[in-house]
Chains A and B, each alone.
Chain A
Amino acid sequence: MSAFPAADRLVAGIFLLFVATTVAGSVLAVFTTRIIRSVCGLALASIGLAGLYYFLHSPFLALMEILIYIGAVCVTIIFAVMLAEPDEPRPDKPTGRSILWWLGAIVVSGAIFWSVARLGLMGNWPTPAIDRKDGSVHDIGVALLTTYSLAFEVISLVLMVAILGAVAIARSGRHHE
């Protein structure tokens, strides 16, 4: 890149924009009361994440994030939402029991956040020895079928378990009628 005034700050600004998008999307997904807006928050967070992947020199992963998480996952969720009741009932008044659940959820998510943040900041992460030539079809194919083939297969196993779980839940729902 040739000399351009304040190029560093421009790049830092774009990076912060993606971070802000991710955080804002996640907050929206959790705190809004309308389920359709939660899905939009999820989509927004995925866009922010895609931007962060781009900053990690992985345009392929960034575009896959958009194609799969927004183009497939969010679309599926919205489709499921559309089949439900359009007007969500007002949230119930908080009772003692629900406040207890709230506290439990806050403690658990706080613990997860703390440990992930600690791991990210303090962990002894190995720096990649070579610059991975991410992007060309050949490199991706080689990586998926040799170096990361175990991870690839394990992920497909997880997906199969998820599908079986969905089938099981759907079947049991049918028996109750």
Chain B
Amino acid sequence: MIIPEPFRLLTSLLAVAGFIGANAAYLVWVERKAAAWFQRRAGPTEVGWGGLLQPLADAIKLMSKQIIVPPGTDRLLFCLAPVLIMVPAAMCFAVLPFSAALVPRDINVSLLMVFAFGSLNVIAVMLAGWSSRNKYAIISAARVVSQNVAYEIPMLLVVITVLMVSRTMNLTEIVAKQAGGFWHWNVFNLAANPLMPVTFVIFFICMLAETNRAPFDMAEAESELVAGVFTEYAGMGFGVFFMAEYANIVAGCAMATILFLGGWHSPIGLWPGVWWFLLKMYFLIFTVIWVRWTFPRTQFYGLLNLSWKILIPLSLFTLVLTSGLLKIFGR
């Protein structure tokens, strides 16, 4: 049966919206439970069995709260910022291949699409910080920009390395080229570049920084900047920022899975399918949470030094190494 394209797109849109909503709601629960586990507490237990209904209760609470727009703010931009942060995060999901057939829109430049829309979230955070007219928010926004600009460079360099190995910008094809056992995955593709595992680690670190997660959570440094750019937001405006943060984490981990861990392919060649993709993606998401509750926040200049003095030279080196090896041994 052939479904007309517009209906298929509409279905994909609803599915993506549902996936993002469910993930944002339940990753908060997972995060709180995991944090409690790392700190030997119980975490949320009151609402539902094991606190499973806690996200719903939180959503109702956030939606019933009054949205306060402080005087002196740029009202239009203040209200627009949560929308502007959510939309690009959702756009990335339009091209992510969950399995060979399960991709909302299979375009030739899907890799570029994810990074193009991924680069928009900085602007939304900045507008949020600027329009709040709050000193903590502005300091936080300025930090976020320098952080994101610094980490976008090694991330894109690393992605170019993968791009040169795969010779395509189509995410579905990138995954298709990693078929047949875990030794074919890009992360273990040592023939193309012996430093490929290092490349994966660089990508993961940059992903943590780009999504403003601890130890790089300069956007919302609770102990020093109240709540950073989110200080003036109340109710669902605040909630949307959190949904966007989790949507970005899911998109980032999905990209790491697609680019390095073989997407929907099984490590041993058995039963390839969307479940492998989800398994790898959720393992990475768990790692993100694990890192957050294990490492303390870095200092700001430590963060910039890490990017400019270590990650950028290293990713440049892997880029040159890969192109050299491809030139010598390629084809």
Residues of A whose CB lies within 8 Å of any CB of B are: 1-4, 7, 10, 34, 36-37, 40, 43, 59-60, 63-64, 66-67, 70-72, 74-75, 78-79, 81-82, 86, 135-138
CB distance from B121 to the nearest CB of A (A): 9
Does A78 lie within 8 Å of B4, measured CB to CB? no
Given A2-B4, A82-B126; A75-B149 close (CB under 8 Å): yes
Contact of A70 among B5, B77, B120 (CB under 8 A): B120
In this complex, what residue of A is CB-closest to B122? Answer: A75
Give A81's nearest chain B residue, CB to CB: B130
Residues of A within 8 A of B74 (CB): 34, 36-37
- Asked if A59 meets B119 with Cβ closer than 8 Å, knowing A4-B6, A36-B74, the reply is no
B274 within 8 Å of A by Cβ?
Answer: no
**In whole angstroms, what is the CA distance A82 to B229 when docked?**
14
Nearest-Cβ distance from residue A126 to partner chain B, whole angstroms: 26
Nearest-CB distance from B263 to chain A (Å)?
A: 19
Listed from nearest, the 6 A-B pairs whose CB atoms lie closest are A71-B119, A135-B108, A67-B116, A66-B116, A63-B116, A63-B112
Q: Is A63 a contact partner of B119 (Cβ separation < 8 A)?
A: no
Residue pair A66, B133 in contact (C-beta under 8 Å): no
B4 pairs with A136, CB closer than 8 A? no
Decide if the interface of chain A is mainly helix, strand, loop or mixed.
helix
- Chain A residues lying within 8 Å of B5, measured Cβ to Cβ, are 1-2, 4
On chain A, the residues within 8 Å of B122 by CB distance are 71, 75
Q: Which residues from A are CB-within-8-Å of B2?
A: 2
Q: Which residues of A contact B116 (CB under 8 A)?
A: 63-64, 66-67, 71
Cα–Cα distance between A32 and B275 once the two chains are bound (Å): 51
Bound state CA distance, A40 and B84, in angstroms?
11
> Chain A contacts of B107 at CB under 8 A?
59, 135
Contact yes or no, B168 A78, CB < 8 A: no
B123 contacts partner chain A, Cβ-Cβ < 8 Å: yes
Closest to A79 in B: B145
Instruction: Judge whether A67 and B112 touch: CB under 8 Å.
Output: yes
A86 contacts B115, CB within 8 Å?
Answer: no
Instruction: Jot down 5 A-B pairs with beta carbons below 8 A, ordered by A.
Output: A4-B5, A40-B127, A63-B112, A71-B116, A79-B146
Chain B residue contacts of A67, Cβ below 8 A: 112, 115-116, 119
CB of B163 closer than 8 Å to a CB of A = yes
Q: Is the C-beta of B37 less than 8 angstroms from some C-beta in chain A?
A: no
Pairwise interchain contact B130-A82, C-beta atoms closer than 8 A: yes
A36 and B117 contact, CB distance less than 8 A: no
The residue that A136 contacts in the complex, of B76, B119, B152, B169, with Cβ under 8 A, is B169
Q: Which parts of B117-152 form the interface with A (CB within 8 Å)?
A: 117, 119-120, 122-123, 126-127, 130-131, 133, 138, 141-142, 145-146, 149, 152
Interface residues of B (CB under 8 A from A): 2, 4-6, 74, 76-77, 107-109, 112-113, 115-117, 119-120, 122-123, 126-127, 130-131, 133, 138, 141-142, 145-146, 149, 152, 163, 167-169
- Nearest residue in B to A137 (C-beta to C-beta)? B169
Chain B residues with Cβ below 8 Å from A10 are 6
Inter-chain CA distance A136–B167, complex, in Å, is: 9
CB–CB A138/B167 < 8 A: yes
State in angstroms the CA–CA spacing of A2 and B4 once bound together. 6
Q: Please give me the residue from chain B that is nearest to A59 by CB atom.
A: B109
Query: Which residues of B have CB within 8 Å of A136?
Result: 108, 168-169
CA distance A120 to B115 in the complex (A): 33
Chain A residues with Cβ below 8 Å from B169 are 135-137
Tell whether, in the assembled complex, residue A82 and residue B108 are in contact, meaning their CB atoms are under 8 Å apart: no
Partner of A137, one of B126, B145, B152, B168: B168
Partner of B77 from A40, A60, A74, A138 at Cβ < 8 Å: A40
- Whether A79 pairs with B142 at a CB distance below 8 angstroms is yes
Inter-chain pairs besides A70-B119, A135-B169, 9 sampled, C-beta below 8 Å: A10-B6, A63-B113, A66-B117, A66-B119, A71-B116, A74-B123, A75-B122, A78-B123, A136-B168
